[in-house]
Amino acid sequence: MAVLVVVTALAALAAPHARTLRGLVASERAELPAIGRPGRSPAAGGDRARAGRAVAFALSQRGKPYRWGAEGPHAFDCSGLTWAAWQAGGVAIPRTAAGQLARLPRVHGRLQPGDLVIYPSRGPTGRHVAMVVGRGRMVEALGRGIPVHSTSIRGGWLGVVRPGAGR
């Protein structure tokens, strides 16, 4: 009886996300986040769930155009994408890449899905942000004429932060 209750509860929790997950799995471009070993991540289970929702949201925005200052739903700039993704994950974060770097907890170990990688930029703010989506991969809204896309994580970042850590 207890197993039936647990299975029913899990199905009820997963149902609202089924369409997004089916789309990610069906997509030939989908890069699902890597699943770490139990006990290896400093984040609690709720933090991983929020990060998973943020990653799923960000990946579902691939193909949408870049537009300076945009926060969705039809276009994004880099920090608008990460801000909207973490909003979808239930975590409020600063709107700008500079604010995210300055006000969120720094990562000093292995990168996890949902982490934000902040780079120097020649753009007006001097900062660019992308979201880690799995081993060696990130999703970003890079700049004008380049739609939201996933790519390999580049080196040369200024810092990595983890929204929702320890919340």
Helices 45-60 and 78-88: crossing angle in degrees, nearest 10, is 130
Domain extent, residue 92, equals 67-167
Q: What is the pLDDT at residue 165?
A: 82
Structural domain contains residue 158: yes
- Nearest-10 crossing angle of helices 18-26, 45-60: 60
Q: Residues 141-162, buried b or exposed e (16+ Cβ, 10 A)?
A: bbeeeeebbbeebeeebbebbb
**Residue 81 counted as domain residue:** yes
pLDDT for residue 94: 97
CA 46, distance to chain mean position in Å, is 15
| Predicted pLDDT of residue 34 | 42
Please indicate, yes or no, if residue 121 is contained in any of the structural domains.
yes
User: For residue 13, what pLDDT is reported?
Assistant: 52
Q: What is the DSSP letter of 16?
A: G
Give the pLDDT score at 117. Answer: 98
Output the pTM of the full model: 0.73
CB distance 30 to 114 below 8 Å: no
Sheet holding 116-120, edge to edge: 149-152, 137-140, 127-134, 116-120, 159-161
Number of folded domains that form the chain: 1
pLDDT of residue 8: 52
Does the residue 11 lie in any domain? no
Residue by residue, pLDDT tens for the chain (167 residues) are 554 444 454 455 554 544 443 443 333 333 434 434 443 443 445 889 999 999 999 999 999 999 999 999 999 999 999 999 999 999 999 999 999 999 999 999 999 999 999 999 988 889 999 999 998 999 999 999 999 999 999 999 999 999 988 65
Give the Cα separation of 26 and 24 in Å (integer).
6
Domain membership of residue 131 (yes or no) is yes
- In a domain, residue 32? The reply is no
Whichever domain contains 102, its CATH number is 3.90.1720.10
